[in-house]
Amino acid sequence: MFQRLRNPALKTKLNQLNKRINKLNDKIENEKYLDTLTNVNTYDGTFWNFTSSFKRKKSNIPTLKGPASIAQINLEKANCIADSLENQFQLNELHDNDTETIVGNSVRCFLNTVPNHFNDFPPTNNNEIINCIKKLNKNKAPGYDGINNKIILNLPYHDS
């Protein structure tokens, strides 16, 4: 009906009915499965019929072409996959003694320096902080502290 008339109200009704049908279908399937589970027992063989589908192998891995031969049985396939992964994920042997000494010296130099050698900056004044707060965007998400920019913008202003 919707496809002929293109009425949005009919489309909404169609979607609602489809959703209701899907929910009822899921409910019927769940009830059927629960009924099957409650009626399973070991005396009449239903337990074994029920569990046999879980014990079966779901999918077969197709034959694999390895570097030397074609792998057809599971052991050969496992070895082929293991060899492939071993070749793909090898450790890189990247050692350069000059680079290691340069990095070691720079780390030692950094660790031996005075921790607060950036004290030559002048302290900030209130106007700088107020200007930064005024430039904040109201619609930005809060940071790690959970404080929203709208809250910061609404802080009381005291001139001192």
pLDDT of residue 160: 57
At 126-158, the pLDDT tens digits run: 889 999 999 999 899 888 888 899 888 888 877
Any domain includes 49: yes
pLDDT of residue 23: 96
Any domain includes 45: yes
At 91-104, the pLDDT tens digits run: 777 778 888 899 99
Name the residue with tokens 């492939």. Answer: 84
The token pair that represents 122 in the structure block: 């002048």
The pLDDT > 70 percentage for the chain reads 92
Any domain includes 48: yes
Separation of alpha carbons 112 and 127, rounded Å: 37
Any domain includes 146: no
Any domain includes 8: yes
Task: Provide the whole-model pTM.
Answer: 0.33
Any domain includes 148: no
Domain span at residue 35 reads 1-55
Any domain includes 29: yes
Q: How far is CA 126 from CA 130, 131, 133, 135, 157, in A?
A: 6, 9, 11, 14, 10
Residue 40 has pLDDT above 80, yes or no: yes
Residue 114 has pLDDT above 70, yes or no: no
Split into its structural domains, the chain has a count of 1
At 51-75, the pLDDT tens digits run: 877 777 677 778 888 878 888 888 9
Any domain includes 23: yes
